[in-house]
Chain A
Amino acid sequence: MRPQRKAGSGAARFLAPTVNSYKLHLAAVKSLVPDKVVPRPLDLQVSKGLTKDIAGDALRINPAKPENRLAALSGTRLAHSPALAFVGDLAGLEHAMLPPPAACGAVMGDLGPQSYRVHPRRLTQSAGAPGSQSNTSHVTAGDVITASALGFPCGGRSHDDYAALPERLDLDRSDSYQCFRRNCVSKHSPAGGRRGLEECPLLERVEKLRLLNLQHNRISCMRNLEHLRWLVFLDLHDNRISHLYGVSTLTSLRVLMLGKNRIQRICGLEKLTNLDVLDLHCNEIPRIENLSHLSELRVLNLAGNRISRVEGLRGLGSLAELNLRRNVISGVAEVDRLPCLRRLFLSSNCIGSFDDLACLGESGSLCELTLDGNPVAQETWYRQAALRCVPHLRTLDMKRITEEERRMACVLARKEDEKKRETHKQAVHKEKRRLAIRNAAQQWEELKACLDLPTQNGVKEEVSSEGSPTHSTAHTNGLAQDPSPDEPRRVSPLSAPDCPPGGSENRLRSSSRPNSPRDPRLSEAGGTSVQSLSLSDSHLAELDGETLRLFGPGALEALERGWGVQTAGAVTTIAFRYISFDAIIPTLPRIRVKFPNLAHLVFLETNISRLPQLAALAQVKRLDQLTIHPEGNPVVGLALWRSFLLYRLHHFNLQKLNGVEVTMNDVIAAERLFGTLGHVATTKTPRCRLLLLLEESRKRQLQFLLEGRGRRAGPTPEEDGRQLGEGLSRALFNYPVRDPSGDGQEEGAVDASRRAELVQRYLCGLVQWAADTSIKGEALHKLWPSMFVEMVRDCVLDMRDRPAFRQASLSRLTHTK
């Protein structure tokens, strides 16, 4: 493009105006969606009228006045119009374009929505070109350095004023002829004569010049400025300057405006220590650097650059306003090193969270902040959160902070803190809970290993007593009470530590998947409603809504504690895990009393291994659902367990067993299998024996019947059994509760042995006696015949002398009288 531009002086510019106009027309239409920045200085040669029209139609730019033709021709005004800009595109050269050129802000790459707003207080040393007002329209509120901030008196001066002030020179969209006519410019580049300055004019007799306005030109290099020692204000807005070297000697400079240039690096400002305002917006600066000596700097505008981090701000002790809009900032640092910073503009950046803004909170002076157009601003409660981050803020995103918002922020902050604390507490509790469950599981495994070991030993002994060495140990393993295939691995105490805790946890979790969604099971993850009742390092009792979960034997004590009527009434499900069933049994009757609405019991890892154990569940008296999980409960491996349970708990009228609906068929099948057993048990067991087997009230019932039978005299034992009712047959199958106190057992044993001794002695005596009697009888039996003969002989001898016998008998009679 550039070569073209340079070559294109003179006649070339006027070539084929018609064609160009066509192109322009098209371009104008396209320009409504300007997405490419195409400064086309070359195109300025196009006929002005056309250009003007197009510009007027398409962009609603103030049309250039006819008499100001030269100014228009100079190109700075119109060159920036998108319509013209796109001519280059049509010429097929669009890709050769440089980034944001000096041409015009309206078509700048960083066109923001605000670009079309005119800031009323814009500081412009306008040259009075008719289009100038419209040209300024790209300058946005954020980009503008307000007059108040600058402290300079300024205003839209008329074009003609400048000559009267030797301290001031406006070369805005410079018309070189005018400049010449005013004799203020001794020399002007020939090229710039028609379409704006291409380089700084060498100004003579203006050493005292304090204010120089060169905005909207095409200056690419700051030269010829070295001698302007008194220059205080230099405006090079909207040019093509690519580096800052030319200003390094202007030590008096207080205001330096370099917006809309092509500067890629901040440097060469070392001697400008008086700098008060530095405007570098819309350049290509990737980093904030080399500014730390500017201790006087109050306003720094770096909007529209490529800065990704806010840094390098140390030493800017007077900085009050920092504009960093439209960059790619994702992190903010060192802002707290700016003691006077009051206003900070960070709109349209990439700040994703308030964590990136942490240092804002450290700044005590900041009172105005913009953050709109950042991802962080999308958050709900964004304003409040921002306020919490920067408490002194008075204005956020150009809106005043209200008291309400401030209060809200306070509340929010408190809430957040609470939440954090709560989360922490929950996390701690969760961890504790996890540990407790894990320990309970571990203890359970150990216990089971202990339990299994004696069994195996017993089997081994028994096997060896058979005397067959071929009974392998592998065989005895097979006899271990658990049919589950992975049991040996889990039982083995060696393999337990090998298993990573997470893994085992997962396994448990996966195994505790509910069969049906409605079926409340033990879930590893406690919900929010979980209320922990009792927690130690090896047991856990918790209430989750209507489900009471107990892990580890220690948790059973939670059942004993005082329960509120309401709480206890709410419990409908109790789940046991890692607790031996035999240890649970004593609590079952109490459970029924304590939890009146209990309808579902879940047993997981409770080592229910035999059918008789199931009979103990009858003590719960009423249940709708029962779940005996296969894991850790070998009984579920038996084919008959379901039938037996249904038979034994027939009066419960169970609705669901292990999540499967109980049907009438099931009940009848169960009766078919076990009915005989019950019948035999009821009718054949000796009455006296029944008395011992039954519980109190049934015993009374039976006694009553027995006594009644005595009175009625008659019915056979079978009928009697029938009268006792079928419930009796089931009630006979009880699982004996082992007396936990060893003393009682010992006492009982002592008692029993003493009794056995007594009985032995008593029976021995009886036998002795009976044997003696038998011997005596036998002896008598043997002696009797001879005795009888002797007696007869004696009698006969006595009675041989009858009178003497009579005499003797009579005398005996009288004697006895």
Chain B
Amino acid sequence: MNFDRFALTAEEFIAETNVLFYLNDAVTQLLEHKEEYIQFGVARYFAEYFSSVKNGNHVLFREFSYVKATPHNRASFLRIFWRCFRQIGKNGDLLAVLEYCSLLQLICPDYPPEMVQSAAKIVLIDDAMDCLVSFSDFLYAFQIQFYYGEFLESVSVIYQDLLSGKSPNTVIVPTSTSVEHLVSAVEDEASQEGVDSTLFTQCIMGLCERFKHSHPSPAAIRDILENTQRVSFYGFLIAMARNEKISQEIGALPSKSDLLIDPEMDQELERLIAQISISPTSNSSGSAAGLREPPRKASPRKSLHPRKRIEMESDGSTEETDSSEN
């Protein structure tokens, strides 16, 4: 590292490591919300900002452009998404694409629906978009789509070129002769679905070498592609989504088997639920919350009122002032 540091100029180094991006954002935020942060304490602000960057919580409720700006942000966002909605996955419901879109928008208000659509396409193999998707399927597909979005776009271009028989990226691919040779082979098999996986791998490797944005490790890609003779684009994406190695590389999500396990959060949730159900049960008969029979439902709801009313009032005053600001 030391060697690197001196090998690069300072500007180069800063550009390389996104430091400037975070600095820029921190200062911009500070300027945008001077009043709040001066009261809060500028030093404290910076400390909290950078510690949240370190913890990966900095992307909560941030705008989409910020969330997707750095690989770290992307990974953080993936992790937060998983943590927030793990319970929905645990519930086992299959949800529509629109629903995932809405969930994403809850933690990132301007999250574009198109991104979600393309993630869903990976799961649904580009058709039947009205189908419901399970949480884990969506999550891993979303991870690939979100984390490697730019890479996937390039791969898609390569794939299309291969499919139409053009020699992809002739300029960049170093072993162009072999590629050209292989392209003729491709043309023979053009009628078949997908492209030859060896050729595809070669092209992707070439892409990886020159690709500025983050991309999965070539080893993982080789892993995926070496088992098959021919591969279709979405087949490739699905394989990527299911590949544990790639997921580990990103490091945002746990392995599939542990996906629904988060004891710390479970504990918190139980506490929250207990808080909600305690107040009614304490007033009515002490039957277990959640196992309430329908006939009783009215009374606990009623008894909820007084306690809740207070909260409502406090809530009310805030929003009134808030609206007046608008």
Chain A positions within 8 Å of B, measured between CB atoms, are 455, 458-459, 462, 465-468, 470-471, 475, 478-479, 481, 483, 586, 588-590, 592-593, 609-612, 618-619, 621-622, 634-635, 637-640, 650-653, 655, 661-665, 667-668, 671-681, 684-689, 691-699, 703, 706, 726-727, 731-733, 735-737, 739, 752, 755-756, 758-760, 762-763, 766-767, 770-771, 774-775, 778
Looking at B221-229, B242-250, B304-312, the stretch in contact with chain A turns out to be: B304-312
Asked whether B60 lies within 8 Å of A676 as measured between CB atoms, the reply is no
Asked whether B318 lies within 8 Å of A693 as measured between CB atoms, the reply is no
- Tell which of A462, A693, A771 touches B10, judged by Cβ atoms closer than 8 Å: A771
Asked whether A755 lies within 8 Å of B31 as measured between CB atoms, the reply is yes
CA distance A466 to B314 in the complex (A): 49
Shortest CB distance B38–A (Å): 11
Contacts known (A481-B98, A675-B273, A676-B83); A681 close to B60, Cβ less than 8 A: yes
- Top 7 nearest A-B pairs (CB, nearest first) are A771-B10, A695-B322, A589-B323, A611-B102, A697-B318, A621-B316, A686-B52
Shortest CB distance B283–A (Å): 12
Asked whether B31 lies within 8 Å of A467 as measured between CB atoms, the reply is no
Shortest CB distance A466–B (Å): 6
Asked whether B312 lies within 8 Å of A673 as measured between CB atoms, the reply is no
Prevailing SS type, chain B contact patch: helix
Contacts known (A611-B105, A638-B98, A726-B272); A586 close to B323, Cβ less than 8 A: yes
Asked whether A767 lies within 8 Å of B88 as measured between CB atoms, the reply is no
Within B104-119, which residues are at the interface with A (CB < 8 Å)? 105-107, 109, 113-114, 117-118
**B14: Cβ under 8 A from any A Cβ:** yes
Shortest CB distance B18–A (Å): 13
CA distance A684 to B109 in the complex (A): 17
**B261: Cβ under 8 A from any A Cβ:** no
Looking at B179-187, B208-216, B292-300, the stretch in contact with chain A turns out to be: B292-300
Asked whether A685 lies within 8 Å of B57 as measured between CB atoms, the reply is yes
Asked whether B114 lies within 8 Å of A664 as measured between CB atoms, the reply is no
Contacts known (A611-B102, A688-B45, A771-B11); A466 close to B40, Cβ less than 8 A: no
Asked whether B318 lies within 8 Å of A692 as measured between CB atoms, the reply is no
Asked whether B126 lies within 8 Å of A681 as measured between CB atoms, the reply is no
Asked whether A672 lies within 8 Å of B87 as measured between CB atoms, the reply is yes
Asked whether A619 lies within 8 Å of B323 as measured between CB atoms, the reply is yes
Q: Which residues of A contact B85 (CB under 8 A)?
A: 676-677
Q: Which residues of B contact A770 (CB under 8 A)?
A: 10
Contacts known (A586-B326, A688-B48); A759 close to B28, Cβ less than 8 A: yes
Interface string of B60-98 (1 = CB under 8 A from A): 111000000000000000001001111110010101101
**B277: Cβ under 8 A from any A Cβ:** yes
Asked whether B156 lies within 8 Å of A468 as measured between CB atoms, the reply is yes
Prevailing SS type, chain A contact patch: helix
User: Can you identify 28 A-B contacts, CB atoms within 8 angstroms?
Assistant: A467-B157, A468-B156, A478-B129, A481-B113, A589-B322, A611-B103, A611-B106, A612-B109, A619-B322, A622-B316, A653-B312, A664-B280, A668-B277, A671-B273, A672-B269, A676-B265, A680-B60, A686-B51, A686-B57, A687-B40, A688-B44, A689-B52, A689-B58, A692-B36, A696-B321, A696-B322, A697-B317, A727-B314
- Tell which of A665, A672, A689, A698 touches B318, judged by Cβ atoms closer than 8 Å: A698
B80, B273, B318 — which one has the most chain A CB atoms within 10 A of its CB? Answer: B318
Asked whether A695 lies within 8 Å of B109 as measured between CB atoms, the reply is no
Name A772's closest neighbour in chain B (CB-CB).
Answer: B10
Shortest CB distance A479–B (Å): 6
Not counting A481-B113, A680-B80, A686-B58, a sample of 16 additional A-B residue pairs whose C-beta atoms are within 8 angstroms of each other reads A468-B126, A483-B96, A593-B320, A619-B319, A621-B312, A638-B102, A662-B301, A663-B301, A672-B87, A673-B88, A675-B273, A676-B85, A681-B107, A726-B272, A756-B28, A759-B31
**B233: Cβ under 8 A from any A Cβ:** yes
Looking at B19-27, B169-177, B197-205, the stretch in contact with chain A turns out to be: B19-27
Q: Which residues of A contact B126 (CB under 8 A)?
A: 468, 470-471
A593, A672, A736, A762 — which one has the most chain B CB atoms within 10 A of its CB? Answer: A672
- Tell which of B31, B51, B98, B304 touches A634, judged by Cβ atoms closer than 8 Å: B98
Name B161's closest neighbour in chain A (CB-CB).
Answer: A467
Q: Which residues of A contact B86 (CB under 8 A)?
A: 676
| Chain B interface residue count, Cβ-Cβ cutoff 8 angstroms | 100
Contacts known (A467-B157, A686-B48, A688-B37); A462 close to B317, Cβ less than 8 A: no
Chain B positions within 8 Å of A, measured between CB atoms, are 6, 9-11, 14, 20, 23-24, 27-29, 31-33, 36-37, 39-40, 44-45, 48-49, 51-52, 55, 57-58, 60-62, 80, 83-88, 91, 93, 95-96, 98-99, 101-103, 105-107, 109, 113-114, 117-118, 126-127, 129-130, 153, 156-157, 159-160, 233, 265, 268-269, 272-273, 275-277, 280, 289-290, 292, 294, 297-298, 300-301, 304-305, 308-309, 311-312, 314-326
CA distance A665 to B276 in the complex (A): 11
A481, A698, A752, A760 — which one has the most chain B CB atoms within 10 A of its CB? Answer: A698
Q: Which residues of B contact A680 (CB under 8 A)?
A: 60, 80, 83-84, 265
Q: Which residues of B contact A694 (CB under 8 A)?
A: 318
Name B284's closest neighbour in chain A (CB-CB).
Answer: A664
CA distance A677 to B32 in the complex (A): 27
- Tell which of B58, B105, B160 touches A612, judged by Cβ atoms closer than 8 Å: B105
Asked whether A458 lies within 8 Å of B114 as measured between CB atoms, the reply is yes
Q: Which residues of A contact B62 (CB under 8 A)?
A: 689
Asked whether A651 lies within 8 Å of B308 as measured between CB atoms, the reply is yes
- Tell which of A479, A668, A692, A703 touches B117, judged by Cβ atoms closer than 8 Å: A479
Shortest CB distance B134–A (Å): 13
Q: Which residues of B contact A590 (CB under 8 A)?
A: 323
Name A590's closest neighbour in chain B (CB-CB).
Answer: B323
Contacts known (A640-B102, A668-B289, A695-B321); A652 close to B312, Cβ less than 8 A: yes
Shortest CB distance A606–B (Å): 16
Asked whether A671 lies within 8 Å of B99 as measured between CB atoms, the reply is no
Q: Which residues of A contact B308 (CB under 8 A)?
A: 650-651, 653
Shortest CB distance A706–B (Å): 7
Asked whether B61 lies within 8 Å of A732 as measured between CB atoms, the reply is yes
CA distance A35 to B265 in the complex (A): 98
- Tell which of A478, A483, A689, A758 touches B31, judged by Cβ atoms closer than 8 Å: A758
- Tell which of B24, B129, B276, B319 touches A671, judged by Cβ atoms closer than 8 Å: B276
Asked whether B320 lies within 8 Å of A589 as measured between CB atoms, the reply is yes
Shortest CB distance B131–A (Å): 10
- Tell which of B44, B61, B130, B325 touches A685, judged by Cβ atoms closer than 8 Å: B61
CA distance A468 to B265 in the complex (A): 41
Asked whether A733 lies within 8 Å of B312 as measured between CB atoms, the reply is no
CA distance A618 to B318 in the complex (A): 11
Asked whether B315 lies within 8 Å of A651 as measured between CB atoms, the reply is yes
Shortest CB distance B298–A (Å): 8
Shortest CB distance B151–A (Å): 13
CA distance A586 to B326 in the complex (A): 8
Asked whether A668 lies within 8 Å of B160 as measured between CB atoms, the reply is no
CA distance A684 to B59 in the complex (A): 10
A479, A593, A752 — which one has the most chain B CB atoms within 10 A of its CB? Answer: A479
